[in-house]
Every structure is written in C-alpha cells, then in structure tokens.
Structure 1
Amino acid sequence: MDNNEYLYHYTNIETLALILKNQTIRFNSLDKMDDLQEQQTADIKNIGQFCYISSWTDDSTESIPMWNMYASLNLGVRIKLRKNPFKIYNNTAEDLSKVINAPVNDASNGKPLQSIIPIAEMFSKGFFSAQAMSKELLIKVEYTDDKEKLYPCLLSEEGERFSIALGELGKYKNLHWKFQNEWRYILTVFPFQLNQPLETSLQSFQLTANKMRYGIEKQPFPYYDMYLSDQAFSEMEITLSPRISAGSKVIVESIVEKYNPSATINESHLVGLI
C-alpha cells in the first residue's frame, strides 16, 4: 500500500497501552490543545469545546521535535495507521426505536445506514455529529497568518434565525506550527437530547443552540474515544523512541503481544544519532 495512505502519531507508552487495550483513539477538544489560539473565534466564546480532534502527521521521516514534544526520546512511540482507520457501524430501525422509545420505519431497502459512531449511542449520550454520519473526519491542516482563518466568524444571523458554522473549527493553525505537517480527524458535536417527546426535543434544540451562541453551553464530555476497525488495528506499526531503555522496550513488546500480536514493532532510525 502506498505510504500516502498512512499517518503517524507520536505518543507515550502509557497512551499506547490504552490504545492497544481498548482498540480506540482518543479525541480531545480544542480547548485542551497546546496551541491556545485554536479554540478562539472572532464572535463566539467557548465554542472550541465542541470540536474534538486527533492529531497525526503524514511525514514518514522521524521528527526530533515531534519526539520531544509529544512522546519523548526515552519513553515514547510513534504509531503508524492507515488513513480513516475507524470502525463502521450499521444502524437499524430497531436500534433507533430502542433509544427514542418509539417505532422507527425502516426506509433503508435492506441497506442499513452506516456511521462511525452508532446513532443509538449518540442519542443515548445526548449529542449528534454530522461527521460521524458522513464518515469524513480527516482534513489536512492549513498553516496561515490570515487572521480571518485563525479567528473565524462562525455566527450567521438573518432576522430571528441564526446558524453556527462548527465545521470551520480546527482547520487552520498559525504558521509557527508548520513543522508538524499535521493531518487531523475532526469531530464536532451538538449536545442534543432526542429521547423525549418531539416538541420537547425541538425546544431543547433551540435552547442549546442559543446557549452555544452566547458561550454558556457546556460540552457533553471532555473527550471521545473512537473505535478502530479490526483491519486497521491489526496492521498497526509501532516505532520505538530513539533512546528507549531496555526495560521500556520490554513493556512495549509485552503489551503488544497481549493486545495486538499482529502489530509490527520497529527500531528508530535515529538510534545512535542523537
């Protein structure tokens, strides 16, 4: 498979253990990122908390700055996975009817609606994500000094109606971060309780939108864990940090053998060079 179909993620051994044990990748919200500029917009406060991301790079060459910042030269690993590695779910009318406590007509003609987060799970946890339905989470970050991109205007108003362009969040970073060559998976969520009468749900939707508009709504969760597909998980490659100790190497080998024995472990190309 062509290398352009793969992405790389620098992290520590503890996080690797959780990824392997749970077969998940964690998405954190923009307000938890090291680039404090990311969560800011020109018009809405606290809106970055509804945008969750997982950061990767397409640079197959090991990066000393990336090792230092996100993994460490002594206790880190670099994970290699195919692009869009997430598990895909089939959503049936029966699944949805259990969540909303009402019959749901099956209009799929035998083809279940697919998503990378089960619709029933979204409803039960009180949120909705359009990206989860489109299965298109991956974008290449654009590095810029354009203030209109770095501090976007998300609010559009027409009379009493308004909309919030959550999809504009997380796409741009300051030129200072260009060394990252970052690709990221972006999941924007809208807090929404559907398991209640329709009229109540619509009122709740409008109230939540207004609270987001004025920066007083709270995120439904601080992070979200996305499940990896079995195929992507089994193809994982793990590169050890350049100065990893013999003991830490044993730890990595042990957790890989236990949770993902088909994964490949590689030595760093920087061993002996730094």
Structure 2
Amino acid sequence: MELLHHYTSIDTLELILKNRTLRLGRLDNVDDKQESQLIHEKHWAQYLFISSWCKDHDENSRLWREYTDNKGVRISLPRFPFEQHVLKSKPELTLFFVDGSISPVPLSDIYNDKWMFFLPPINEEHYGKDVIYVDNPEEHISPPITQDSDGYHLNGLFDLATIKDSNLWSEQNEFRYIFFVVPGHPGIMAKWEATGDPKFPAAYMANCIVKGIPSQLLHFDVKLGKAIEDVVITMGPECSNEDFERTNRLVDKYTLRGLVKTSNLS
C-alpha cells in the first residue's frame, strides 16, 4: 500500500488522533510566499485549502528540520485516508451525482449557508494532486475564472495550488489535498432551494472569485476514516525518551494498531 508522509509536531499529532481529523489550511498562509503571492494577487488563495504531504518513502532531512526542528513526528497514512460519504442526487436542486459517487465530506458540508465548494470533492484525482515543479511558476499560474462581456470563463481549475518553483521546492516531492471553498450566503441557498435553479449558486461563486469577496473560513477540517487505526508514526531524529513515551501513549489511546518507529536518521 502506498503511504504519504506528513512532518509535524507532536502537539499536532495529538490533535489529529484525538479529533480524528486532518486540517487543511488556507493557501495564503503557506510557507512558500512566492506561491501565495502569485495566487493572492488574483484574490483566490483565500479560497484554496491544502494539506501537504511527501511521497518519498525515505525520510527527508530537510522536512524534518524545517517542519519539526528534528523533534517532531512523521505521520504516514494511505493516499486517501478520509471517511467516505456516498452522495445522493437532489433533483429538487437540479443537483445530480453518478450513482456511488464518494466524497470525503457529506453533502451538507459541500453546500450550506457558511460555505460552498466551488469544486465538489468527488474525484480523488482532482482534490488530491501531485505538485508540479517548474522553473518559472508565474508563467504557469492563471486565474481560475475570468469575466468579460460574454460572461464567466473557467480556466485550469484542476491545476490550482499545484505549481511551485523547482529551484526552491522540488526536493519536497509534495502531494496535496486541495479543497476550493468560497464563502456561503444564506440568501443564495434560499433562492436555490426555492427555485431549484443552480444558476444562483454558480453565478454567486464565480462572482466571489472574480471580485475577491472576503472569506472568514481560516481552515477546513475533514474527518479521517478507518485508516487512522493503522497510522505509522516515525519519531524525529532528536526526539527524547519523553517524546517517545508521550507519542506511544497517544497512539495506544487513540488507535487500534498504530505503530511508533525510530527514525533512520537518529
């Protein structure tokens, strides 16, 4: 089974295990300021929520150093460790899903008064993506939606938040979960429910992106599924005995078969 790896603190590990959730943070708060600035200038970094993982099986000394100061943990889970929710069509909203469509979030968390997914997280290949490393990222990033006299036009929606500078970041070999979420609006939901016409939410969401309507959502938590029971935790190269003891207690308390390993770089 292919595993992905997330380098973080023991405190964050505790929150993940206790709440059984993975937190996706806003793209305008990531460590790559070049990336966030390129996107933020067009208003839409605030609508992109990501969680970054490494595809390398071998431990990455740079990630240990930058994200844990060599004293945190590496969390290893399958590529899509989330709960699975079957989405059922709602003809009254002119909203249809292929039979058996699976999402990591229920329909009530895709469209509601507080937020709306511009891209519903249905296709794993769309919301879980390999990062692409290029020499001049500014030449590869374009607005996801534009407006002219003919209306709105969609551009490269499934490449969002996947472009980074190869000279700075390629050794991270990154995989990302990416949710595209805009602010909700009670009036829009009411119109949609009253008329069943999807043009109301579609036009509203497009307008959010073009005009940069501020988002109050700072992060998005998604529930983890049964995969968390078999999580593999690798301890940082400079973790103390106390760190090992604390991590073992957490894994014993919150998982069924979780494993704690010593770093190969210790």
What TM-score do the two structures reach when normalised by structure 2? 0.84
What code does the residue aligned with 1:269 have?
Answer: N
Amino acid at match of 2:189: N
**2 CA distance for matches of 1:53 and 1:63?**
20
Distance across 1 between alignment mates of 2:224 and 2:241: 29
Q: Structure 1: 5+ residue runs without aligned partners?
A: 98-102
Aligned to 1:144: 134
Distance change >3 Å, CA 112–CA 6, structure 1 → 2 = closer
Q: Which residue pairs with 1:191 in the alignment?
A: 183
Paired letter, 1:34: D
Return the match for 1:253 from 248, 253, 264.
Answer: 248
Amino acid at match of 1:45: K
Out of 132, 152, 169, the position equivalent to 2:160 is 169
Paired residues of 2:49 and 2:220 also in contact (CA < 8 A): yes
Q: CA 1:83/1:92 → structure 2, altered by over 3 Å: closer, same or farther?
A: same
Query: Which of 202, 206, 214 in structure 1 is aligned with 2:203?
Result: 206
**Aligned sequence identity (%):** 30
Q: What is the alpha-carbon distance in structure 1 between the residues aligned to residue 101 and residue 56 of structure 2? A: 35
Change (3 A) 1:188 1:265: same
Q: How far off its partner does 1:247 sit?
A: 1.2
The answer (yes or no) to whether the contact 2:20–2:223 under 8 Å persists in 1 is yes
CA change 1:91–1:202 in 2 (3 A) is same
1:184-226 CA distances to partner (integer Å, 9 max, x unpaired)? Answer: 11111233445302369855653553342133x1225111111
Q: Structure 1 residue 168: deviation in Å? A: 3.1
* 1:60-209 → structure 2 map (5 Å cutoff): 60-74=57-71, 76-92=72-88, 111=99, 113-124=101-112, 125-136=114-125, 137-165=127-155, 166-175=157-166, 176-193=168-185, 195-198=189-192, 202-203=199-200, 205-209=202-206
Question: How much does 1:238 deviate?
Answer: 0.2
CA–CA distance in 2 between the matches of 1:29 and 1:43?
Answer: 11
Number of equivalences: 257
Provide the C-alpha distance between the structure 2 equivalents of 1:42 and 1:114, rounded to a whole number of angstroms. 29
**Structure 1 pair 205–49 and aligned structure 2 pair: CA distance change class (3 A):** same
SS in 2 for 1:189: strand
Distance in structure 2 (CA, Å) of the matches to 1:59 and 1:105: 43
Give RMSD over aligned pairs: 2.8
SS in structure 1 of the partner of residue 121 of structure 2: helix
Please report how far the alpha carbon of residue 128 of structure 1 lies from its aligned counterpart in structure 2 after TM superposition: 2.0
Aligned AA (2:241): A
Where do 5+ consecutive residues of structure 2 fail to align? Answer: none
Contact 1:156-1:164 within 8 A present in 2 as well: yes
The counterpart of 2:218, out of the listed 198, 218, 222, is 222
Q: 2:250 and 2:34 mapped to 1: Cα distance?
A: 36
Q: Distance in 1 between matches of 2:123 and 2:8?
A: 28
Distance, in Å, in 1 between the alignment partners of 2:141 and 2:97 is 41
Matched AA of 1:119: L
Distance 1:229 1:15, change over 3 A: same
- Paired residues of 1:23 and 1:227 also in contact (CA < 8 A): yes
CA shift, 1:60, in A, is 1.3
1:17 aligned residue (14, 31, 35): 14
d(CA) in 2 for partners of 1:266, 1:151: 40
The farther-off stretch of 145-154 and 164-173 is 145-154
**TM-score with structure 1 length normalisation?**
0.82
Q: Give 3-state SS (helix, strand or coil) of 1:7's partner.
A: strand
8 Å Cα contact 1:67/1:241 also seen in 2? yes
